[in-house]
Amino acid sequence: MDRTAYRLADIVARFGGQVMGDAETRIQQIGTLEKAGAGQIAFLANAKYRKQLEGSQASAVILSIADADATSIPRIVCDNPYSYFARLSAFLNPLRDYAPGIHPSAVIGKGAQISPQAHIGPQVTVGEGAVIGAGTVVMAGCVIGDNTALGESTRLYPRVSVYHDCIIGNHVIVHSGAVIGSDGFGMAWENGRWLKIPQIGRVLIGDHVEIGANTTIDRGALDDTVIEEDVKLDNQIQVAHNVRIGAHTAIAGCVGIAGSAVIGKYCRIGGSAGILGHLSIADGVEISSFTLVGKSIREKGVYSGIYPFSDKETWLKSAAHLRHLDDMFARIKQLEKEIESLKGEKV
Amino acid sequence: MDRTAYRLADIVARFGGQVMGDAETRIQQIGTLEKAGAGQIAFLANAKYRKQLEGSQASAVILSIADADATSIPRIVCDNPYSYFARLSAFLNPLRDYAPGIHPSAVIGKGAQISPQAHIGPQVTVGEGAVIGAGTVVMAGCVIGDNTALGESTRLYPRVSVYHDCIIGNHVIVHSGAVIGSDGFGMAWENGRWLKIPQIGRVLIGDHVEIGANTTIDRGALDDTVIEEDVKLDNQIQVAHNVRIGAHTAIAGCVGIAGSAVIGKYCRIGGSAGILGHLSIADGVEISSFTLVGKSIREKGVYSGIYPFSDKETWLKSAAHLRHLDDMFARIKQLEKEIESLKGEKV
Amino acid sequence: MDRTAYRLADIVARFGGQVMGDAETRIQQIGTLEKAGAGQIAFLANAKYRKQLEGSQASAVILSIADADATSIPRIVCDNPYSYFARLSAFLNPLRDYAPGIHPSAVIGKGAQISPQAHIGPQVTVGEGAVIGAGTVVMAGCVIGDNTALGESTRLYPRVSVYHDCIIGNHVIVHSGAVIGSDGFGMAWENGRWLKIPQIGRVLIGDHVEIGANTTIDRGALDDTVIEEDVKLDNQIQVAHNVRIGAHTAIAGCVGIAGSAVIGKYCRIGGSAGILGHLSIADGVEISSFTLVGKSIREKGVYSGIYPFSDKETWLKSAAHLRHLDDMFARIKQLEKEIESLKGEKV
């Protein structure tokens, strides 16, 4: 593919920042400090990687003001090199364009309203009464349920399922294999067997949400499951029925969120963490990877609960004592009493 | 959608229980105490939520005998409000009906026997010699392997894969993205590389099983993987080869079950728990979320192993000592010895 | 299905080893010691199961030299019964053959180069410029992105997604629902909202790799995500952007590997383990199930970090003390000081 080359001068005209060095330097693509070569611009967003500047073969670099003099490579100096890089990369690497229209192999239900500006790919099934907005791309093999609505400029990668009656906003991205609107895990125990509880709520997904590959979001049991705007969900996350995730929260891969948990805005949750059901988590909370949150968190802060790993022998020794902490504690108490009594005898 | 309205009198005639208050009250739908409005019936199944009765705008409520007088809202009093609610909701919210027949875009293999009462949706592929029973619904994009049999009144949501030679019972529900019958993780190490072991067992799934979205169930290596009747599996569960899960067991999301584990009947396993391979778990065992079961459990009971979370600083302090529990224990022993010796000197 | 019967004499002629007992014994299939019957050959690879030899109804057994006299059943004696069994089973149970050709329901993009020896199943979508090698089988409902290349003799089970520009080697097996090349979880925080970072790297997958059902492998952010040859990934594994997994490493189900982690060759990682981002793990490292690796591992060895489970009451007692280990430690120190001082007074 032929790429257009842009002068650093053109780039700062568009995105701000200042050029230091040759403003005529042309770049076509982004790269890492380590691997970027001719025609590529790298970035330094973390002082930890400053030593990589030295050997870099990049044609140009994006830097913070603090690092402006750390190299002689032609450079763009700006306030936030990481977001500068993000914007520039989005400009250099626009999402692939999909021509509007419905692929002849797609199956469209009665009464579906598909914008003439939408793209419906091969082997897609769209349910009855579904609504698909302008600029939205539904790629191969997706299945959209009856009466579900997708907003505008939303993109579903191949093989996404959205069940019936869900509402997905604008500028949403859903990756391959994700399932939205499946039944929540609800049943009643009666006479020695399970009775299924119909899951009649919906899933509501706000604007600018991104949902990772093979992530699952269950529909509400009675009320709705809600993902607010600008939430970012990585791959293989499980969101149970009636969960609410606040705006701008980011959740890493493999996290499980149990039913009716309410997660605040601006939270960050590490990979493989878990949130038990019916809990509330305040705005701005950060949860470490592999941590199970077993009760509500009322205060902003960082929370962790990870068993520290070690070589297996060391672990075996410590783990063996773990069950006996109660006994250990009682023995310390007893020792303290005996010391007190020995000291008493002295007096 | 126009919904039929039922009088409380009609409902108790059908489902039992007693009306208190106006038996002519008409309801069309179920709701929560918090959100139900006119025409909706809510339920109180847990005394914890009794205070929500006060402000409820529901037209009627389902209550236990103990709570019969806790409100003046027209109400149905019964033994088990939760299962009453489940039955009533299933009546008010029947599963969508799918007309029998095979969608013209479906691809049907040679010798497949599909009941004329089955529904085969768009873009479905049915393998050679597969059997699909009456009343069974196979939704868009499912792939059914050669010689696999689906029973009657079973429902596969969009994009389910069932590999060849598997047997799925009656009244089974499988949610979108689930994979049944994929190869187990079996290989032999030989001369510095892996040798794949053919997985020639099957998956057998009993009646009334429900399988969540993106859950995976591997086929047996030599013998079969077996899911007994009325087992309920939530989303994103991994069931390895040769596992057996006993009847009526319910397993929450993201659980991993390693090869040849045998899980009893009536068990309940919390989210993100793990079961190591070749273990046995007795009937009626309950495993907490996030707990790894590393050896067999012979007795009914509740079992847990969760690192309690806390603010990160508290966690760091305790975690730092965890590796030194063995040393701590030795020091307590030493202290005890010294106290004994000090006490001895006194005598 | 009619199966060919092979004499033990035929088998050792082909695979080596020695027959003890009747070399004319005919076998058609493999089975377990417990369940194999007439016409089946079982194997004993682990001395732990030696007592199962007694009651076995198998027509023949594969044994090590050490166990050669442990039974009178006709037997094949060899160095490595487990790999012998693997080879023999692969011979008796060859993968199903798929006839070359493109199913008429498949949708093939412009400029795609599909070997006439490849099999493209129903409802498959192949992107523009994609390349598919000889002997490769792409089963129903798979979606292959633009310019992606699949090597030779590779097999994609139904409903696999491979995004654009990825490269998959020869003799690779990918199970149903797997997603390869989805966007990594990359975004920059700017002015109170997330800015998506284009993920412009690829996924490169070496020869003889096997990828489990519903496993996800994200494409690189700038550089590539790399899975080296003969890596074996079980189901529901999440591999984030820019990860590298060394040759011959085997990873069990539900493992999460965060961005830019580098895992060595010949590693074995247990189920539901986690690897944090930007870490390095040496060759030959073994990680226990449920263990979070939170810093780099430089030395070969076995590493663990699992909270040992117990009955819930025991767990509650120990867990309650866990947050107070720091205090416990301080009290032990204090006790030691006091003892010293008491002992001092004696002198």
pLDDT tens digits for range A309-336: 999 999 998 898 888 888 888 999 999 9
- At A100-159, the pLDDT tens digits run 999 999 999 999 999 999 999 999 999 999 999 999 999 999 999 999 999 999 999 999
Nearest CB to C325; choose among B236, B293, B321: B321
Q: Is C283 exposed, middle or buried (0-12, 13-18, 19+ CB in 10 A)?
A: middle
Query: Which is catalytic among the residues B241, B248, B278, B324?
Result: B241
Chains in contact with A, counting 3 or more C-beta pairs less than 8 Å apart as contact: B, C
Q: State how far residue C312 is from chain B, nearest Cα, in angstroms.
A: 5
- Alpha-carbon distances of A29 from A3, A59, A93, C146, rounded to whole Å: 8, 10, 8, 20
Q: State how far residue A83 is from chain C, nearest Cα, in angstroms.
A: 5
DSSP-derived pairing of the beta strands C75-78 and C18-20? antiparallel
Query: Which is catalytic among the residues A119, A171, A208, A241?
Result: A241
Q: Is pLDDT above 60 for C1?
A: no
Burial A115-144 (b: 16+ CB within 10 A, else e): eeebbbbbbbbbbebbbbbebbbbbbbbbb
- At A172-219, the pLDDT tens digits run 999 999 999 999 999 999 999 999 999 999 999 999 999 999 999 999
Nearest CB to C319; choose among B193, B272, B308: B308
| Listed range (B108-112, C104-108, C250-254, C318-322) with the worst mean pLDDT | C318-322
Contact assignment for A308 to B323 by CB distance below 8 Å: yes
Contact assignment for A198 to B93 by CB distance below 8 Å: yes
Contacts of C303 in chain A (CB under 8 A): 309-312, 315
Half-sphere exposure of B222 (CA within 13 A, CB side): 20
Q: Is pLDDT above 70 for C77?
A: yes
Top CATH class of A6-92 equals alpha beta
What is d(CA B196, CA B187) in angstroms, rounded to the nearest whole number? 4
**With bands split at pLDDT 50, 70 and 90, how would you rate the model's confidence at A3?**
confident
DSSP-derived pairing of the beta strands C26-27 and C6-7? antiparallel
- Per the CB < 8 A criterion, the answer to whether B131 and B112 are in contact is yes
Tell me if the domain spanning B101-303 has CATH number 2.160.10.10. Answer: yes
Nearest chain C residue to B314 by CA distance is: C323
Nearest CB to C248; choose among B194, B256, B332: B194
Q: Is pLDDT above 60 for C230?
A: yes
Contacts of A343 in chain C (CB under 8 A): 338, 342
Q: For the residues A296-308, what does the mean pLDDT come to?
A: 97
Q: State how far residue A156 is from chain C, nearest Cα, in angstroms.
A: 12
- Per the CB < 8 A criterion, the answer to whether B306 and B288 are in contact is yes
Nearest CB to B252; choose among A163, A183, A185: A185
The pLDDT of residue B326: 87
Tell me what the pLDDT averaged over chain C comes to: 95
Residue C150 DSSP class: E
Ordered mean pLDDT values, 10 residues apiece, chain B (347 residues): 87 97 96 94 91 93 94 96 95 94 98 98 98 98 98 98 98 98 96 96 98 98 97 98 98 98 98 98 98 98 97 92 88 90 76
Number of A–C residue contacts, CB under 8 Å: 230
Nearest CB to B197; choose among C86, C336, C339: C86
- Measured in degrees and rounded to the nearest 5, phi and psi for residue A63 equal -135, 160
Nearest chain B residue to C322 by CA distance is: B318
pTM: 0.97
Number of A–B residue contacts, CB under 8 Å: 230
What is d(CA B164, CA B127) in angstroms, rounded to the nearest whole number? 8
- At C17-49, the pLDDT tens digits run 999 999 999 999 999 999 999 999 999 988 888
Question: 3-state DSSP call for residue B23?
Answer: coil
Q: Where are the domains of chain B?
A: 6-92, 101-303, 312-346
Q: Is pLDDT above 70 for A2?
A: no
Q: Do domains A6-92 and A101-303 have the same CATH topology?
A: no
Three-state helix/strand/coil letters over chain A: CCCCCEEHHHHHHHHCCEEECCCCCEECEECCCCCCCCCEEEECCCHHHCCHHHHCCCCEEEEEHHHCCCCCCCEEEECCHHHHHHHHHHHHCCCCCCCCEECCCCEECCCCEECCCCEECCCCEECCCCEECCCCEECCCCEECCCCEECCCCEECCCCEECCCCEECCCCEECCCCEEEECCCCEEEECCEEEECCCCCCEEECCCCEECCCCEEECCCCCCEEECCCCEECCCCEECCCCEECCCCEECCCCEECCCCEECCCCEECCCCEECCCCEECCCEEECCCCEECCCECCCEEEECCCCCEEHHHHHHHHHHHCCHHHHHHHHHHHHHHHHHHHHHHC
Contact assignment for A271 to C274 by CB distance below 8 Å: yes
The pLDDT of residue B344: 81
Contacts of A61 in chain C (CB under 8 A): none
Mutate: best of B126, B194, B242, B297, partner C, most C CBs <10 A: B194
The pLDDT of residue B346: 63
Nearest chain A residue to B80 by CA distance is: A190
- At B170-185, the pLDDT tens digits run 999 999 999 999 999 9
Contacts of A140 in chain B (CB under 8 A): none
The pLDDT of residue B14: 97
CB contact set of A38 (below 8 Å; sequence gap of 6+): A57, A59
Q: Quick one: which of A281, A279, A236, A241 has its CA closest to A259?
A: A241
Contacts of C325 in chain B (CB under 8 A): 317-318, 321-322
Reply yes or no on whether B278 is catalytic: no
Q: For the residues A265-279, what does the mean pLDDT come to?
A: 98
The pLDDT of residue C15: 97
The pLDDT of residue C207: 98
Residue B65 DSSP class: G
Task: Report the complex ipTM.
Answer: 0.96
Beta bridge partners of C180: C162, C217
Q: State how far residue A52 is from chain B, nearest Cα, in angstroms.
A: 32
- At A48-96, the pLDDT tens digits run 888 999 989 999 999 999 999 999 999 999 999 999 999 999 999 998 9
Nearest chain C residue to B253 by CA distance is: C254
CB contact set of A150 (below 8 Å; sequence gap of 6+): A130, A131, A132, A133, A136, A138, A144, A156, A162, A168, A172
The pLDDT of residue C72: 94
Beta bridge partners of C275: C257, C293
The pLDDT of residue B3: 84
Query: Which is catalytic among the residues C241, C248, C278, C324?
Result: C241
- Per the CB < 8 A criterion, the answer to whether B151 and B169 are in contact is yes
The pLDDT of residue C347: 53
Q: Is pLDDT above 80 for A302?
A: yes
